[in-house]
Amino acid sequence: MNPEVPNPNRVLVIDDSESIHKLVVARLRPEGLEVLGEVDGERGIERAIADQPDLILLDIGLPNVDGFEVCRRLKEHPATRSIPVIFLTGTADTESKVRGLDLGAVDYVTKPFDQVELRARVRAALRAKRLQDILEQQSHLDGLTGLWNRRYLDQRLESELNVARRYGRPLSVVLVDVDHFKRVNDDFGHLFGDIVLQGIAEGLRAYARRSDIVARYGGEEFAILLTDTNLRAAMYVSERLRSSAESRHFEARTEIVSVTASFGVACTEDLAAELTPEALVKAADLALYASKDSGRNCVHLYRSGELILSTGNPLALGSE
Amino acid sequence: MDPIRSVYEDDPDMLEIVREFAVELPARIAKLEAHLAAGALRDLQTLAHQLKGAGGGYGFPQITELAASLEQALKSGADAPVVKDRTRSLCELLRAVVVPEAR
């Protein structure tokens, strides 16, 4: 999963009246919105968690669980917390409106609603949601390279490690360090250094798999999180990334400069220590240092305390 | 009572659902009358609430108005004759709704 453009907007309507559903569909479809519907609060919450709509139109006067309670629960659940809620209210009293807004709703529309007003309020809420999404994503992105940043990587490492532990699936980490980067900066200037980092980042993103999480870890160091990937598969990916970095050329004034990078790979399945984010990163770091020590531009694997030079050949890992 | 038509009849986005709404009205009238006869005031109130919310949206502001007055009467625990009277007025209004022709 790498930063992407969001899909067309979807609106979930939770209202016990079918007439209201049809009305909302007829009024919002011309806006190019997809409308989902549920007539019951409990089902509505489940649907919101599963389908992740961009906006929820929520009736206050729902039978069983009322709209206030549904809103409270939506705002409590991590998967639905950031989805804006607009209350649909049949009663125009101030108390209900204030209560709804205090529970975290962004707006309210009184029924029967005026179509122009409904559309305008929906548009406004979606606009705010889009900006909020962009801000959230940007706080997870590295400004120079457009890759995920270290904060995001640390968060994902923690959660992916939980998944790996719970389901017994392998998780690999690759650390990448650009070789002799200081020399590049000294010889050609920091601006050129930035161009090199951007180029290397582009290569990592292009040659990693869709499911790999590629991040700038700091300075000239990058980290890649490979879910559902064992040491052998992570080695293949790393070899591919290493050779793509090696074959990239940068133009500096009159010179053509090429750079290389060193790689360290560790996998949860081959960890001697206990499964913590720190232990996994530490193991990959040890492997990276082994690559640096043995002449750079190569990949080392951490395997149960041993550091093995990858030859790109699976036999190097013995039979598995 | 004069026939009443939806103000959205000519809106192509709306025509189909206005038709559906109008076609289903006799069933709602029957329910309103049945709840009134059975003294099922809570059910009557729910129906009134729904008609209040939907009526104007389908281009029938009069429905919203009368349904709101019935809901208000039920909410405030008005006397039986008032409830009966308002339910009947609402039903009479709903009977006057003209089903628009499909185009």
**Residue among B17, B51, B60, B97 with most chain A CBs within 10 A, to mutate:** B17
pLDDT under 50: residue ranges of chain A: 1-6, 319-320
What is residue B21's DSSP assignment? H
Query: Is pLDDT of B2 > 70?
Result: yes
Cα A96 → chain centroid: 37
Residue A271: C-alpha distances to residues A7, A168, A265 (Å)? 39, 13, 11
What pLDDT is recorded for position B85? 96
SS3 A85: strand
Active-site annotation holds for A4: no
Tokens linked to A120: 């305008």
What ipTM was estimated for this complex?
Answer: 0.84
Tokens linked to A196: 């090199």
Residue B55: C-alpha distances to residues A74, A211, B32, B43 (Å)? 29, 50, 15, 18
| B35-87 per-position pLDDT tens digit | 999 999 999 999 999 999 999 999 999 999 999 999 999 999 989 999 999 99
What pLDDT is recorded for position A255? 86
Nearest CA in chain A to B42: A63
Closest chain B C-alpha to A22 CA, distance in angstroms: 7
Cα A84 → chain centroid: 20
| A19 contacts on B by Cβ (under 8 Å) | 21, 50, 53-54, 57-58
| A75-110 per-position pLDDT tens digit | 999 889 999 999 998 877 888 889 999 999 999 998
| B67 contacts on A by Cβ (under 8 Å) | none
Q: Do A22 and B64 touch (CB under 8 A)?
A: no
Q: Do B58 and A20 touch (CB under 8 A)?
A: no
β-bridge mates for residue A107, sequence order: A86
What pLDDT is recorded for position A320? 44
| B54 contacts on A by Cβ (under 8 Å) | 17, 19-20, 23, 111-112
Residue B102: C-alpha distances to residues A265, A266, B14, B59, B95 (Å)? 68, 67, 11, 16, 19
Tokens linked to A84: 């804006």
Tokens linked to A122: 């929906």
Closest CA to A271 of A286, A256, A261: A286
**Residue A229 in contact with residue A172, Cβ under 8 Å?**
yes
What pLDDT is recorded for position A30? 87
β-bridge mates for residue A175, sequence order: A223, A264
pTM: 0.67
**Residue among A19, A64, A87 with most chain B CBs within 10 A, to mutate:** A19
**Residue A40 in contact with residue A16, Cβ under 8 Å?**
yes
Closest chain A C-alpha to B22 CA, distance in angstroms: 11
